[in-house]
Structure 1
Amino acid sequence: MGLVERCNRLRSRWSRSFPPNLARLMLLACAALWGGSYLLAKFAMTAIPAQWLMALRMFGACMCMLALFHKHIVPHLTPKIIVPALVVGLTYWGTMITQTIGLQTIEPGRSAFLTAAYCVITPFATWIISKTKPRAINLVAGVICLTGVGFVSLKPGGSLSLSSGDWLTTATAVIFSFNLTCLGVYTKRFDPIAVTFVQFSVAGILFFIGALATEPAPDAGWLAPPVVASVLYLFLGATMSAQIMQNIGLAHVPASQASIIMCTESLFAVSFSALFWGERILWSSLVGFALIFAAVLMSVIKPTKYSLHRN
Structure 2
Amino acid sequence: MHIMYVSKFSGTNDVLALTVMQFFIGGACGVACGACFETLSPAWALTPEFFWNMAYLVIFASCVALVIQNVALAHVPPAQASLFLRLESVFGVLFSVLLYGEQVGLKLIVGFVLIFGAILVSEMFPLKRKDVATNQLEAVPVELP
Question: What is the TM-score with the length of structure 1 in the denominator?
Answer: 0.32
Matching residue of 1:81: 50
Q: Within 1, Cα distance between the matches of 2:88 and 2:55?
A: 21
Q: How many equivalent residue pairs?
A: 120
Amino acid at match of 2:54: A
SS of 1:104's partner is helix
Amino acid at match of 1:83: W
Report sequence identity in percent: 12
RCO higher in 1 or 2 (8 Å CA, sep ≥ 6)?
A: 1
Q: Within 2, Cα distance between the matches of 1:94 and 1:137?
A: 31
Return the offset for 1:144: 8.3
Unpaired segments of 5 or more residues in structure 2?
A: 126-145
Residues 1:80 and 1:288: Cα distance change in structure 2 (over 3 Å): same
Question: What is the TM-score with the length of structure 2 in the denominator?
Answer: 0.61
SS of 2:57's partner is helix
Residues 1:287 and 1:131: Cα distance change in structure 2 (over 3 Å): closer
Residues 1:147 and 1:65: Cα distance change in structure 2 (over 3 Å): closer
SS of 2:75's partner is coil
SS of 2:103's partner is coil
RMSD: 3.6
Return the offset for 1:77: 5.3
Matching residue of 2:32: 67
Amino acid at match of 2:91: I
Contact map agreement 1:120 1:142 (CA 8 A) in 2: yes
Structure showing greater radius of gyration is: 2
Contact map agreement 2:73 2:81 (CA 8 A) in 1: yes
Aligned pairs for 1:3-42 within 5 A: 36-42=1-7
What per-residue deviation string (whole Å, max 9, x for no partner) do you get for residues 62-95 of structure 1? 1232233144479665523223213322123343
What per-residue deviation string (whole Å, max 9, x for no partner) do you get for residues 153-178 of structure 1? xxxxxxxxxxxxxxxxxxxxxxxxxx
Return the offset for 1:97: 2.3
Return the offset for 1:128: 4.8
Residues 1:46 and 1:141: Cα distance change in structure 2 (over 3 Å): same
